[in-house]
Each structure stands twice: as structure tokens, then as C-alpha cells.
Structure 1
């Protein structure tokens, strides 16, 4: 640990060495709020602080004694027996007790799921509003010293993009931002993350609801229990993901501090390891300025990415991948700052003045005789840059990468020998080999980061890329020209090959793939190695970096694995319905090889969308918000549009930069721009007059990705949609549903619907029934009353059966929700948009009202 600068931060040394001094404290606070507004620390006082502490201390180290418990009668009637309560007389005393709590337990880390608005940040801002010095007293600096806090800094990046709170000597973890790098999700609310990672459903309540419970003596325990659950789940997330021990192990491996692993980029890690090796060789790294980086010669080479032979392959396609290609190239050919001699044409006639080399300058000796003697031994890259051979000087980067790769092999071997019982050692070894893999793969990026790099060099970056292109091109030529393999490379990307083997079985593809990997590996010096990765059977190559297929990794594997790269099934820029429909369609295509089955399935799903029988959660988009200053003026972005609407009502409701904002598209008056049809999902659930824009979802979201895949088979997906009948709807009755807006919705007047009787196009009348002659019926149905009555009667009986099903489902939903929220649904209102039951409850009520409307329509007619 001598290489770590931990002066003044003794906690860091203990934490990194063994975690034995690790203590985490999670905090949630309840505040007295104003209705419909988020808590404001300038106005809303803190009513209660709920905390949870976890620690990892050896038995011989004493821990702080439990706090003196007082006022337990506040919660004894609620059944919260594991909750200790300390009652104080004023909010100022509450802040003093919070400070005493932190100084007594002396935690290494302060944790909160959203630290700025509902946890430690609110506590600090409230302290400033009351004139209580909280920031410095929570830090580990001597009393009287000031600690830097985000409230005192106007750093846009620090406040908006990292939500960082600086307390000297302690690490403040903002859990939801950490989850963004740990899991790829549509939403990063605690409800969504807890379900996806911990498989636990939890409710979400408004601040108004929690305040109402808090003010009533009989329901105060619900507020405390909810906040305590959030504390414990936040800590459970960190433990389940092994976040703290893994980060500490990476900090020790890279030689940087704990929080730098989370907040700094990959260049910082590479530089930390590289400088330790350079110091032993008496080398000093340069620090180029912005002007020097701008004056550097621009890169000339890019990785080789072939245009794939796009089609549906029913025969094996073997995928071969070079193992750590760029690190292996740097090791094999000794590419480094310390071995680069510049352009080869300059060695024969070196200029008298130093010439440009990366962001600096290089001077060669006036007499190049000694260099010219080594020309035959030099490693000259395809871009014309010369490097010294290894016998003359071994580069710093090749030595570092070689040690990293060899160490990773040893760690992985130790991991295999490690028994299942020693789980803690397995976690440490896994974190170590993962860190070594990451640092090896990003070393090339350190040399080629010409815009924001710390020490870029275009000569080295171009040399690595050009050599990688040459290796890939030679390998493709060998595979295509080999007489016995009868193979064809149908796609290549940077360091991988997709080889089509026509007329071969899956077992034969494994044998041929291994032969290709062995033959190509022999062509190059160590450690460059082509590895057999997998076999696709069947597969679909769409475009560059977009392909999907059934994957087999071993010859004895019987069940394939659905593997997709770059298409909508693994992307998050669409709604979940797109991924579900596309993935199921591809499964049918791969399993049955019958396009007609795919057509039937797609048309059934499109009808569900048009009939409004798809969950709101499946039709919700979620895009990251970049901050108010992250968009150009006049930008029409849904996340920005909703953020502006929320901010006008409540300035504190603006989403954080990086937060995913959910939205849906609804019907509107003809001619309205799309940006004005964007709504928050909670608004659609509350207003029954709003209908999801099925036409937009089908034509702009679902059909385009299907077309990109199935058009390779000569299928016109858009024709499937035009063949569908337009289903009848009951849009005209939405004004009678509970929760609908009081004013008339323009969508009710202009949205085209279908006749309830025959399905013909019509437009719902804006008002009246009975005397109007049957609202929702076309002229033909009105002219044939007997036939229309029979149709409506059959429709009504269908709805009656649906109503019975709705009642049964509602009972089951009520039982599930009561188990989640802990009380009857009539007493609470869960506002979680991440729970599918929220939408199902709403739609069940609307379907019941639609059945009543149809009954009234039948009686009036």
C-alpha cells in the first residue's frame, strides 16, 4: 500500500486492506410537506430520521453501544418491534442527535438511494436553512475546519451529473447512480431496481400520503416502516451486488482511492499502473495541454468493420474472436511510448530540428548509423511507424499488459481451485480478475484518446489499429481461400470473424471452427490468439453490429441460447412491447421456419395494441434526461418537455441528469405536433379520456424493427398491418368513467373510431345518447335495428363474461397488493409505475364501466 497517498485519510488504508473497519450508514428522512409539492428544505421541516447501520468489525474491536431508547410507545401499537425510537423536542435537537449518531458510530460510508433530495443532502440543506453547521461536523476533519459540500460549489458537472456530496474522510454513495452502471434497466427507481435485483416488490407512496399517516397516531408506524424498508433495501442492494468489497479490491489493484474507482474514468486507472512501472525505469510522463492535444496529428486509421452479407442463415455460422487483440498486438510488436522512433522515412534522413511526435516532439541522433543497423529488426507498423525491438528496449506498456494478462490467468486458476465454501475469497478473486481484464482492454484507448486524453499519441494509436486491421484481413483471406474448409467470412468486426459453413452440421461446424482457430493462431507471434467462441444455428445478420441467432457454445449443448446484439431486443431506446414482439417473432422464425406463424402472431399483437389491451408499462418509453443545460435551445425532446412541465409546477421536481424519464404517446387533435402528444404515464392512468396512440406505436415503434429483420426474407410487414380490420372501441363513453378530466377532451371529438356494431369507420358523437339514435353506431347499423340488436347482445354477453373475470382478477390483485403495501387498498394509494398491477387495476375498472356503457347503449337502441 505504499503507492497509495492516504495522508489524512487513515480510514482508506483500513478499508482497502481488509474491510475490517467498514461501517455503512443509510438514512431516509420524513418531512412535513405541502400538498402536491416535493419537500423543500427551505420550507418543510424534518419530522423524523430513519437510519440503518451495517458494519463489518472483528470480534475484538468494540462497537458503539446502542442508543438510549425513549418514546417507544410511539410505535409499540404498530408491531414494529425491531425499531428503536429516540424522541426529541425540536428540529434543532433532531439535527444535533443526527450529528451525534454519526460521530458515535463513525461510519466509513454514508449511503442513500437518492442522497440529494430525500436523504443526506436534504439533511445538510435543512441545516443550512436553520443556521446549523452540519457539513463540517459530519466530516472527519478537526472541529472548526470546513468541508466542501456541493451546496457551496457551483460546479455544474459535480452537482448535476454525479450528485456528489463531499465530506472529508467519508465516502457518500448515491445508490441509484451506482445502479446505472450495474444493471441495464428501463427505470432506476427503488421499486424497479429492488424487483430486478432483489426480486422484491415494494410500494411507492406520495409525500402527502406519508405525511397523512405520520400525523395520525394509529398509522404513524406505516411511515416509519416504509422508510425503514427503503433503508434496508438500499443496503441489501449494495450487499447483493458486492459493490463495496469489489470497489475496494479494484482500488487496491489500480492503486487509486476508493471513490476514484467510481467517479474517475479508465484513463486514470491506466495511468496509475503505468506510472508505477515508469518510475522504476527513471521515466517521466508528459502532461500535454489542451493546445498541444489540439495541435497533434489526427488519427488516420479506424478499426476494420466489414459490411455483412445480410440474410437469414439456416446453416452454421461460426464466430471466432481474437483474445484481447489490441493488448496482444502491443505485447507482440513492442508498441509503446518508450520504443517509438516515429515515421520510418525519417530514420534515413533525420531532420535537424525535433519533429512532431504525438503531443510532443522527438529528436533523433544526428548520426542514424546505429538505428539503420537495426532496421531489419524493427517492428514497422502498417501505417509506417517504427518501434525498437524487444532486445534493445522492452516498452513500459507491453510489460504492463503482459504482467496483467499473466496475473489474470493465475487469478482465474486460483479461482477454479478455490472451494465453494470460501465465498468471500471467491468474491475477492473474481473482482481482481475482472479488474485486470478491464484495465487490459482500455489501455489502447489511453493512447488514442486524442480529444480528452491525458497523454494521447496518434502514432501509437494508428499503429495498433492498422496492425489489427492487417491481422484481420490476412485471417479473412486465409479462411476464404482454404480448399478443405469451403468456408466464407460473411462478417468481420474489429477482432471477430463470422464464418459461414454451408452444407455442414452443427457438430462439423465445431470441428471446422477449431481448425480455423488453430491455423490462424500459428500465423502470428504470441500472445496473439484466435479463439473459437460459438456457433450460430440459425442466425440473422442485419447490418453492422446488429445480428441475432441461436447460440451453441459447446458440442454437447442441446438447448440453444437466444443471443442478440444491437437489435431492439437488447436496446432500451424503445418500449418493452417492441422487444417482446420482436423476440417472440424471431423465436417462431428460428424454431418453426414458418413465416405464416410469425404473421399470425404479429397480427394478434397489433390487434391487442389497437384494442387497448396492452399494458401501459409495455408501451412506456424511458429516455435519459441530460439536464436543462444539456439540450440546445428549442430542442423538442420528450424528457425535456415533461421536465419543463414539472418544473413549472414545482422547481424541485426536475429530474436529475442521467435519470430516465418515462413517457407515452397519446391521441390528439389532427395536426398537433408529436411533442404535444407526450404524456407522463401517471397522467394517462389518472385521466380516462386519454388514449394511447396505437397508430404511432404500431407504425413508428413495432413495425420498423420487424421490417428490418423480416425484410431480409422478402416479407412486407407493413402489409400485415393494412390487412387488419379496425376494431370497435368505446372511446365516446370515456367522459363517464371515474377519474376522467372534467373538461371535454379534444381527442373525443376528432379521434376516428369504429362502429360498435359492425366495425365500420365512424366518429363518435360528442354528446347525448338515446335520442341521438345510438352513440357509436354507424348509419348502416341504425338502418338495420334487428341485426344490430343481435350483434350488441352478443357483444354484451362477451362483456358480461369479461366482467366476471375482472371481478375475480380484482380480488386476486387486491390480495397481492395488500401483501405488498401491508394494509387494505382502500386505505392507501400506491403510485408505483414500475408495478404491472397498477395498470391492471385501472384497466379493470375502465372495462367494467365500458360494459355498463354498452348495456346502456343496447337499452337505448
Structure 2
């Protein structure tokens, strides 16, 4: 283990007592924040006997410190005026004058979970915050779980008691399981049944834990009382309404995720202290019958002043080994706490192991013992009492590491940081699976009563980026980077001085602050809050579950209103498939005339509404047409897929009603958004309209999920078949109307159609005219379809490059005066297995073709770039490819995995470990060498002049993307000529210093003038041969100028990195392999060292010293 400077005697005085951690009440407990004109903040040291005041750091304030002061504190003068107990208090505001007999209990519910109350009664625990910031837990009692099954023929109400007793016996639990059995008139959601309700048995259980056993007992036939259910061999009794207890409660009580709930005065009682289960400020109980759920609209769409803790930890690892909790200490924990609706964080601190120099506007809490640091951080979390805990990769690293480390050190009580003091937090291995995200192994830590928002997981779910490191994501969304200290450097900084630990604390603080800023920038909290409200599920379901649960929640809510029951369908993998959307074959080419684009508004939702496609309207059997006396087209339709659905005359589909409400609510939210001025309310409204849009668009997809809760391929395939018809009809109607024969200047041509849009070439070169025709065509075609299907004119592409299906680029115009943006689809600019050179070249080429409309110039640029590549003139930063090392063993050999093995053999200390991103370039190899044998570490390549395989980059990285762009414009032959010709005939190869025959080669110095090898005396006497000695002064000057130029270049890159790291006085240690400056700096350093060595060769030449 690498040496970590820790005290030999692990004895620590009281750094932060429990009393210290609560709101300070006396002068000795004041927390002050250093400002420019004040003395440094008092720090909490390892002993109360030590002085709390230190001399301020003499180091000038860094750029990052200024940023912290500016962005975290906003106003220095405010800090000086408000540097009071209240400003720095960690605890929530006290509960003032609250009487259940007089006051109602109203709060925003942020989480709901199943629990028990006195005597083991099942309850739903609602956690939340009221409008003044008090934390609340409300036990909602008396709600009982239930399921349905179809009553057999002949079953009478008087039979309910006997069946209840029989079912109780068959269930065979150690305590009464069945609360009641009652007859209820219901309809199954699955299939049209003539709008006639049938008798069902509603089986209510005493405790939700009995539901699985009762369901399996019924389904298996073990509770087939008197054999009334006539079953064929292997047939099961069908049960209905399979939904978990908390969601059942929310559906029946109309409680929506993240919405406001209220227990009126006199309907609830406070839980006595000796019976309290939570550390919330208010804990009460009420019956579900008295609970009021406010619909999140108007006044009730507001947000409570939620507390958000963003944190980051640093660990002192051993050389070459990724930190392990049973070996490597936690040395710093940075925390930033904000209240929703406020721009200033009210807490910013860093828990530091060992003495650490002051940081402006930040509390430094020092400890000499790691156990004390962890223990006091746990107390800090309890006292701050955050509603939301966020950070970057906290789910898979920070939370599990802290828990494992505290367990290893036997820190008593550390794992109790949730709102239930008797429930420890545990990190468990779990697997998240969804069609959108695929399979992901992850860890889940319970922090009951609090929400966990891992920004890494959110951004991976919602955004497609080249890299997901915090540095890269911050650069993409915030336009700034940070110093990226590799974990192998952290121990060195920690083992240094208070100043080096201060630098580490700044790094840690920024890693805690950036997730908060990203969350604000991307409106993550608002968007997910509104999604929870729209779909009616708890907030944490959105993070831990897939798409289907959101749809299921909406379906159950609507079914409850209409007394429908939903069958429990066993999820099975199916090979059944259906034909997807139509793609009109593209007429590939480069169009220098405007191309109008018409889009169907919410295509699939509108088809389902227009044709009444739903579970409730599907005719399962053709015989039902006669049974119900239905007339074709009037009472039912046959879809292009030959499925049969009744029309809205017979029954309006449940899905159509859900979609109508969602889309109507979205229009309303957009209207409110247009007139709202408050930025926080605008973010909420925008999140709401996005959530409504996503929910509406996801309904179709979930009917086609064969492994889903309620699959129905008849709905999904009918929807796509109507969509195909509509795209074809649009094409026919446009081309039939807009032609020369009808008086138009050109024959219109639909050059491409893709799922819900068509691209039309009207022939005109006038942009405004193309827009007018597009608008006219959208209205004309819309009239041909059933409402609410609507074709809208959205944009014009001009010019337009149509490469292939789902691959195109063009300038996007919505008004004729100025284009909005350059729009691309399906073109290689984001994929991380492409190097940066591909992205740079493709973006530049598209800009030249589309914006400059300079195709010859784009060809010249490509040729110059290829020539530079083959002559080794392209900066290595543009050739680096990065991939994550995600597992120990791969089925096939991969370039980044094999490189990691080789690097480990060379130097285990600097080799990438599991979870790291491996950066590599492709180098020249022996004839026939596989690609995985040619990957190499870029730094190793720089240091040893290993030749790059430039042909690999041309053939495997650039050739296909360039071909796709230029072939539609130039034709296949001319496009291929870009990759061959005179510009590809000059190739430069670096002279390697390692590998191959170099280990047997003897290096000989050459003349700095004519490059002739120097032998014997000549090699020792100077830098030039006898023939070039008259030019020695000129050659020396040239070399000196080169050294000077390289010094300037290296200095500029070094300064740029210093600015990024936030200090102009510290050595640059950033190792961000996602940053092009990193490789430029390393290359400049190597070039400067080599040039310096060349310069020293002139030392023996007296003639050079004039």
C-alpha cells in the first residue's frame, strides 16, 4: 500500500460534537465564511483545545475561488452582512405553533413507501416538505390491497362469506389473510364486450404482503370452491389488477407523484415521541378516507423549498490500484446544499482529513482521524436533512464506498442516514433493463424518505454524448471544463502540504458543485417532477423502473374511473413481430433548391384517437360482430392489418381518452408557459409539457412490447399500418395536386418519407414560395384524414443533402430571412468509437457544403486533411479513441482491453483499471497484424515516436463517412478519388525509438545541416559535419528559434491548463484524456525536450557561439 500520511496514534478529540452539528446557539459555535476582507473561517480541528483561527493562506485567490465566490455566494457584500447564525445554520426552520385541532397538514409528497404502524398495521408512508420547509412523514392507514377474479356462473352474494373462509384455508397463512370477498360489477379492459358489466369477485387482503400468495392460490386452481370454475387441463383462473400496494393506493386515492397532499385539521394526529419512526420534524397519521390529494395544476403546481445536497468524495488510493474501501481512506467530502427556488447555496463545506488551507466562502472542517470524519459527515447529513441527494456517479461509487469504508472502520451508526433511524442504508447489486437503455448492472442504495438523483445516470438516460465524464459533460452543457486529477495523483496531493490538500479540496468542491449546476441547467428536477405528476408514479420509480410503469399507472387510473379491471398477463418472451413504419425510398442527392418538410403532429397518438384503437374496442372474435349486431364502418372498422375495432359510436377507447387528456393538458401547459415570467415556474411548465409529450408518444410503443404488462400487437400493428397508408397517401395527394398540369410552375416530387414526415421538392428556388406551398399542402392533405390527424408544415431544408434512409443534413429554415441551424441526422459526429478527426472533418465539410455552398472547397479541404494525416501533421489529440474498460473478460479480443493488459505489464501503477476509460491510437504493426494488436497508449506513442497507422484512420475512420456525404453529390467514382491521387502519395513516418528492430539498432548522430551520419570524432566534436561547419551559426540560430517557438507554444498550453484548473501558481497535473489540450500539451513538452537536446549538441561547436 502506498504511504498515506495518517497519525500513528488514532485518537481524536471532539472536532464536531453532536451539539456542534445542530444550529449554533452561542459564540463558540459560530460558523463563519472567509471573505476577501475578513480573517479566515474558523475551522473545526481535531481538538477543541487547538486554536480555531489560522492565518489566511498567502496564496493569491484562484480563478476557481472567484467563481465559487461569484456563483455560490453571488454577492460578497451580502455575505458580509448576512454572515450570521441564520445564514450558516444547517438545521431546518423550527415547527412553529402547529396544532392538529386547528391547522391542516399540507405538504409536497416526494416519496411514498409501504410500511407498518403500531401493532403491525400496513400503512403508506408519505414523505415530504411543507411550504415553510419543515420535513413531514405522514402514515396513511386503513387502505387495504385487493385483486379481482371473474365470478363463476351461479355465484351469489350469499356465497361470499363461504368462499372467503375457503380461500383463507387454502391460503394457509399464520394469521388471517383475507379481509373480505365481495361481488362487484366490472368489465375487463381487454376486448370489446358489448358495454355490459359482469360479476367479479373483489378479494381484499388484511395485509399487502398476502397478495402474491392469494393470487397464486387462486390462479393455480387450489381455491376452486366447489369446482365452480370450469377449467380445462393446465388452464388457470385469471386474476385482475396486478399492481403493487403503493401504486394501488396512489391510484385509488388520486395521489400523483411529487404532488401536494393534505390532511385537514382534526383528521390526523401527531405520533407521540416514543412511537415515532422517522427523524422528520412532523410525523403524523391519518386515514386514507380523510386524505385530500391536490391535482398539480394552478396554485398546486408549485414546488416546496426542497433541500438539495450535492456531494463528492475523494479517496487516497494506492499506486496502480483503483481505490478499494477495505484499504484506501476517504480523505475529503465536499458538500453544497441549496433550497429549491434560491440561487445561493446556504451550505458549502469540505470535510478534510488533516490540516487544509482556507478556501474562500467555504467552511473547512478538519479531522485527524478518518472515523471521526465519516461519523460527523453522517451527523451533518441528518442535521441538514436533504430531500434530494445528488452527485456524479454517486449510485455506483460514492454511496457504496462510504458504506463499505465505514463498515471496514467499524464506524458505529454511519449507515443510518435515511429519514428512518431504524433502517440502515445498504448498497445492493441490481440490474436495470429497458429497451431504451439496455441491460445495466448498477448499485442501488436505500435512503428512505429522500430522493437520490445521480446526474451520471440521468444524463446517460436522456442524452447521447461522445463522453460521459463530468469534465466532458460540463464542457458540453456548461461550456467550461475543470481540472481532472487522476485518482493516482490524489494520494500525492494528500501527502503534501496544507496548500496541496487545499488544492484537492477545491477540486473536490467543484466536483460537488458541478452536478448541482448541471441539474439546474438541464432542469432535471423540474422535468422528472412533472413526469411523476403526469404519470402518477412516485419520483423514484422514474429512476429505477423502465417506461412501462408510467403507462400502467395512467391506465389503472382511467380504468378505475370506468369500473374496468385489467387482466394479469404473465410476461413471456414472444417471437411475434409486426411490420413497422414506412420509409419512402429516398431520391439521394444534393439539392440546392428548398425542400419543404411536412410532419404529422403526434402521428401514432393521433391515429389511435382517430381510429379508436384500444384494448376496450378490440373485437377478439369475428362472431362478436353478429352477436352485438354491428354494422361495418358505422359500428366497427377493419384496419389495414385486418384487425377489427369498434368505433366511438359503440365505445370510446380508454387509450383515446388518455391521449386526448394528455395532449389537451400539453396545449394548456404551453399556453401558460408562453405568458409566464418567473424562471422557476417556467422551468416547471416546460418540464410539464415535455412530460405530457413523452407520455403521449410512449403509449403506442408499450402496446407493442411483447414482454410488457399489457401487450396488444393488434393495436401496435394496426397503428403502424395506418401510418404506412397515410405516408403513401400524402405522397400521392401532393404529387397529384402540385404539378404543371394544375397550373403550378413545377411538378412536385416527394423525395423522401420517414415514419411521420415527408420531404417535398416543389421545384421553386424561392425560399418564401416553398414555405407558402408547404403550408398550403399541409392544410390540403390534412383535410383528407380523420381528425385529430393533422399534417403540419414545420420547416424547409435549403440546401439539403439526402444521403440515405435516416441519414441527411441540411440548413433548417422556419422563416425566409435567416436559417435557424444546421440539422443532421444519422451522420458520424457523436459516436465515441470514431476519433475527433472524423467529427471535425465531417462538421467542417457539411458547413462548407451547406452554409458556404462551396463543394469544390470542401473537396480541397478533404484532400488537404488526408495529405496532412498521411504526412503525420495531424495533432494526435484528434486521433485518440476512447472506450470504457467495463469488465474483466470479453468474449472477443478488443483494442482497448488488450492495450490495458500491455500497459499493466509495462507499469501497473499507471495502467487503467476497471471502470476507467482507455484512450488509445492505432499504430503501425507487422504485416497482417490484427487491430487489437495495434492499439497503443497515446503518451507512450509520443514519448517513443511510435509511428501512427495513418492508413487505418483513412480507411477505417474517414473513408465511409466521407463517401456517404460526397457520393450523392459527385457520384461514386469522383467521391472515391478523394481518397486516392497525388495528395495521398507523400507519406511521413516517425522514426521509432522502441519496438521491433530498434532494440538491436545503434543510434548514430546526424549532421544538423545535411543529415549525413557523423562518425568517430565528428560525433563528439559537434552538431555538424565538416562540410556544413561554415553554416553552423545559421543552423544554431534555426534550432534556437525552434526551441523558442516551442517554449511559447508549451507556455501557452500550460497557461491554458492553469486557467482551467483555477490557479496560475500551481503545477498542472490534469490528466483529462477527453481533452484535446492534454495531448497538445504532452506533445509540445516532448517536442521541446527533443529540441532542447538538439540545441545542446551545439555546445561543442565554438563557431555557434558568436
Q: How many residue pairs get matched? A: 788
Residues 20-59 of structure 1 show CA distances to partners (whole Å, capped at 9, x for unaligned) of 2522223333333322322211111233333222234999
Correspondent of 2:675 among 399, 417, 420: 417
Distance 1:441 1:425, change over 3 A: same
Q: In the TM superposition, what whole-angstrom CA distance separates every residue of 1:507-553 from its partner, at most 9, and x where no partner exists?
A: 22112111211111000111101111211222111111001122211
Paired position in structure 2 for 1:780? none
Question: Out of 879, 903, 923, which is 1:666 matched to?
Answer: 923
Match of 1:706 among 951, 955, 962: 962
Q: Which one of 459, 462, 467 corresponds to residue 187 of structure 1?
A: 467
Secondary structure at the counterpart of residue 792 of structure 2: strand
1:233 to 506, 510, 514: 514
The residue that corresponds to 2:996 in the other structure is 746
For 1:453, which of 705, 708, 712 is the aligned residue?
708
Q: Of the candidates 314, 318, 330, which is equivalent to residue 608 of structure 2? A: 330
Query: 1:463-542 counterparts in 2 under 5 A?
Result: 463-482=718-737, 483=739, 484=742, 485=744, 486-542=747-803
Identify the residue that residue 552 of structure 2 maps to in structure 1.
Answer: 271
Residue aligning to 1:262:
543
In structure 1, what is the equivalent of residue 857 of structure 2?
A: 597
Aligned-partner Cα distance in 1 for 2:351–2:909: 37
Q: Which of 116, 123, 126 does residue 10 from structure 1 map onto?
A: 126
CA separation of 1:388/1:625 partners in 2, compared to 1, >3 Å: closer, same or farther?
farther
Q: Is the 8 A contact 2:109 2:126 kept in 1?
A: no
Is the CA contact 2:337–2:348 (under 8 Å) kept in the aligned structure 1? Answer: no
Q: How does 1:823-838 map to 2 (within 5 A)?
A: 823=1063, 827-838=1067-1078
* DSSP 3-state at the match of 1:372: coil
CA distance in structure 2 between the partners assigned to 1:236 and 1:833 by the alignment: 23
Alpha-carbon spacing, 1:788–1:316, altered in 2? closer, same or farther (3 Å)? farther
For 2:733 and 2:996, locate their aligned partners in 1 and report how far apart those are by CA, in whole Å: 66
Taking structure 1 as reference, are residues 705 and 374 closer, same or farther at Cα in structure 2, changes over 3 Å only? closer
- In structure 2, distance between residues paired with 1:791 and 1:378: 98
Q: Does 1:722 pair with 2:991?
A: no
The match for 1:782 is: none
The residue that corresponds to 1:41 in the other structure is: 325
Change (3 A) 1:57 1:857: closer
Q: Give the corresponding residue for 1:407.
A: 665
Post-superposition Cα deviations, 1:631-675, rounded to whole Å, max 9, x if no partner, equal: 5x2x2333544566688958996544xx86543222223332111
1:767 aligns with 2:1003: yes
| 1:550–1:560 CA contact under 8 A, matched in 2 | yes
1:123 is aligned to 402
Secondary structure of 1:111's aligned partner: strand
Asked if 1:250 corresponds to 2:527, the answer is no
Q: Deviations over 1:127-174 (max 9, x none)?
A: 22223455641222242x444422xx4758799634432222223332
Distance in structure 2 (CA, Å) of the matches to 1:276 and 1:50 = 43
Change (3 A) 1:615 1:58: closer
- CA–CA distance in structure 2, aligned partners of residues 4 and 772 of structure 1: 74
Once residues 380 and 721 of structure 1 are traced to their aligned partners in structure 2, the CA distance between those partners, rounded to angstroms, is: 57
Cα distance in structure 1, aligned partners of 2:536 and 2:1029:
80
CA shift at 1:398, angstroms?
Answer: 0.2
- Residue of 528, 541, 565 corresponding to 2:825: 565
Residues 499, 678 of structure 1: alpha-carbon distance in 2 compared, 3 angstrom cutoff: same
**Is the 8 Å Cα contact of residues 341 and 386 (structure 1) preserved in structure 2?**
yes
Q: Is the 8 A contact 2:389 2:450 kept in 1?
A: yes
TM-superposed deviation, 1:586: 2.7
Asked if 1 retains the 8 angstrom alpha-carbon contact of 2:386 and 2:450, the reply is yes
Task: Tell whether 2:697 aligns with 1:441.
Answer: yes
Alpha-carbon shift at residue 218 of structure 1 (Å): 4.1
Counting only pairs closer than 5 Å after superposition, residues 85-484 of structure 1 correspond to structure 2 as 85-115=364-394, 119-132=398-411, 136-143=415-422, 145-150=423-428, 153=429, 161-219=441-499, 220-291=501-572, 294=574, 298-342=576-620, 346-347=621-622, 350=623, 364=624, 368-373=626-631, 376-419=634-677, 422-450=678-706, 452-482=707-737, 483=739, 484=742
Match of 2:1085 in 1: 845
CA gap of 1:70–1:490, structure 2 versus 1, over 3 A, is: closer
Contact 1:23 1:53 in 2 (8 A): yes
Q: TM-score, normalised by structure 1?
A: 0.82
Q: What is the aligned-residue RMSD (CA, Å)? A: 3.9
SS of 1:97's equivalent in the other structure is helix
Is 399-408 or 661-670 further displaced after alignment?
A: 661-670
| Residue 678 in structure 1 maps to residue 935 in structure 2 | yes
Question: Hey, which of these two has a bigger chunk of strand by percent?
Answer: 2
User: Distance between the aligned counterparts of 1:400 and 1:522, measured in 2?
Assistant: 24
- 1:741 is matched with which residue? none
Q: Is the 8 A contact 1:114 1:175 kept in 2?
A: yes
Decide whether aligned partners of structure 1 residues 841 and 430 sit closer, same or farther in structure 2, where only a CA change above 3 A counts.
Answer: same
Distance 2:607 2:630 in 1: 24
Change (3 A) 1:684 1:551: same
| Structure 1 residue 441 displacement after superposition | 0.8
| Distance in structure 1 (CA, Å) of the matches to 2:820 and 2:559 | 48
User: Any idea what SS the aligned residue of 2:503 has?
Assistant: helix
8 Å Cα contact 2:924/2:949 also seen in 1: yes
| Residues 111 and 174 in structure 1, CA contact (< 8 A), matched pair in contact too | yes
Conserved 8 A contact 1:538-1:549: yes
Confirm whether residue 26 of structure 1 aligns to residue 310 of structure 2: yes
- Structure 1 alignment gaps of length 5 or more: 351-363, 736-743, 751-764, 778-784
Secondary structure at 1:724 match in 2: helix
Q: Deviations over 1:250-282 (max 9, x none)?
A: 212211111222232222211111210011111
- Residue 97 of structure 1, CA deviation: 1.2
8 Å CA contact 2:317–2:328 kept in 1: the answer is: yes
Q: Structure 2 unaligned segments of length 5 or more: list them.
A: 1-107, 115-123, 131-257, 261-301, 1014-1024, 1102-1106
Which whole-Å CA distance do the structure 1 matches of 2:1073 and 2:342 have between them?
Answer: 43
SS at match of 1:74: coil
Which is greater in Rg? 2
For the Cα contact (< 8 Å) 2:433–2:440, is it kept in 1? yes
Q: In structure 2, how many angstroms separate the alpha carbons of the residues matched to 1:541 and 1:259?
A: 42
Shift of 1:572: 4.5
Q: Are the aligned partners of 1:479 and 1:487 in contact in 2 as well (CA < 8 Å)?
A: yes
- Worse-matched range after superposition: 836-845 or 49-58: 49-58
Equivalent residue, structure 2, for 1:818: 1058
CA distance in 2, matches of 1:3, 1:593: 53
Deviations along 1:664-719, whole A, 9 cap, x unmatched? 2222233321111223445545x333343211111211122111221222223445
In structure 2, relative to structure 1, the CA distance for the partners of 1:90 and 1:160 (3 Å cut) is: farther
CA contact (8 A) 2:311 2:513 kept: no
Q: Structure 2 CA distance, aligned partners of 1:699 and 1:513? A: 41
Q: Of the candidates 839, 842, 849, which is equivalent to residue 582 of structure 1?
A: 842
**Do the aligned partners of 1:27 and 1:120 also contact (CA within 8 Å) in 2?**
no
CA distance in structure 1 between the partners assigned to 2:1032 and 2:861 by the alignment: 28
